[in-house]
Amino acid sequence: MLSRSAEGLYWMGRYLERVGSLSRLLRIQTESLVDRPVREIHFGWRRIYGGLHRQPPGGPLRPHRSDRYTLADSYTLADDLTFEASNPDSIRNCLAAGRENARQMRHCISAEMWTEINRCYLRTKDMDIRDIWITSPESFYADTAAEVDTLAGVAAATMYRDERWLFLRLGRFVERTQLSGSLLSAQIDAAGFFEEGAETDWTGLLRVYHAFEAYNRSHGAAVDPGRVLDLLVTDPRLPGSLGRSIAVIGRELAGIGGGPRAASAALVGQSVERLGVLVGSEWPGGEGGRGRRELLGAVLSESRLLHTSITGAYFDYPLEGAPLEGAVR
User: pLDDT per residue over 203-213, tens digit each?
Assistant: 999 999 999 99
In this predicted structure, what is the pLDDT of residue 322? 44
In this predicted structure, what is the pLDDT of residue 11? 98
In this predicted structure, what is the pLDDT of residue 321? 47
Q: Is 226 exposed, middle or buried (0-12, 13-18, 19+ CB in 10 A)?
A: exposed
Residue 130's CB is within 10 A of a number of other CB atoms, namely 10
Q: Domain for residue 257, yes or no?
A: yes
More confident residue, 84 or 288: 84
In this predicted structure, what is the pLDDT of residue 2? 86
Mean pLDDT of 136-158: 97
What's the mean per-residue pLDDT of the chain?
91
Mean pLDDT of 105-112: 95
- C-alpha 163/C-alpha 46 separation (Å) is 39
pLDDT tens-digit readout, 225-282 = 999 999 999 999 999 999 999 999 999 999 998 777 666 788 999 999 999 999 998 9
Q: Domain for residue 27, yes or no?
A: yes
In this predicted structure, what is the pLDDT of residue 39? 86
Most distant CA pair in the chain, distance: 63
Q: What angle do CA 146, 97, 304 make, to 5 degrees?
A: 90
> Which range among 14-18, 114-118, 195-199 shows the weakest confidence by mean pLDDT?
195-199
Please provide residue 273's backbone torsions phi and psi, each rounded to the nearest 5 degrees: -65, -45
**pTM of the complete model:** 0.92
In this predicted structure, what is the pLDDT of residue 68? 58
Mean pLDDT of 173-188: 97
Helices marked H in 53-136: 67-82, 91-104, 111-124, 129-133
In this predicted structure, what is the pLDDT of residue 37? 85
pLDDT of 163 over the 60 cut? yes
In this predicted structure, what is the pLDDT of residue 59? 80
Indicate the residue type of 224. Answer: D
What is residue 44's three-state secondary structure?
A: helix
Mean pLDDT of 284-313: 87
Q: Domain for residue 322, yes or no?
A: no
- C-alpha 258/C-alpha 147 separation (Å) is 33
pLDDT band at residue 286 using 50, 70 and 90 as cut-offs: low
Indicate the residue type of 123. Answer: R
Q: Domain for residue 328, yes or no?
A: no
pLDDT of 49 over the 80 cut? yes
Q: What angle do CA 104, 327, 251 make, to 5 degrees?
A: 100
User: What stretch of H or E contains 14?
Assistant: helix 3-31
Q: Domain for residue 271, yes or no?
A: yes
- Structural domains in the chain (count): 1
Q: Domain for residue 105, yes or no?
A: yes
Q: Cβ(37)–Cβ(195) under 8 Å?
A: no
pLDDT band at residue 109 using 50, 70 and 90 as cut-offs: very high
Q: Cβ(73)–Cβ(46) under 8 Å?
A: no
Its domain, for residue 141, covers 3-315
Q: Domain for residue 320, yes or no?
A: no
Share of the chain above pLDDT 70, in %: 91
What is residue 25's three-state secondary structure?
A: helix
- C-alpha 194/C-alpha 209 separation (Å) is 23
More confident residue, 223 or 327: 223
Q: Domain for residue 109, yes or no?
A: yes
The gap from C-alpha 113 to its chain's centroid, in whole angstroms, comes to: 20
Max mean pLDDT range (55-59, 190-194, 207-211): 207-211
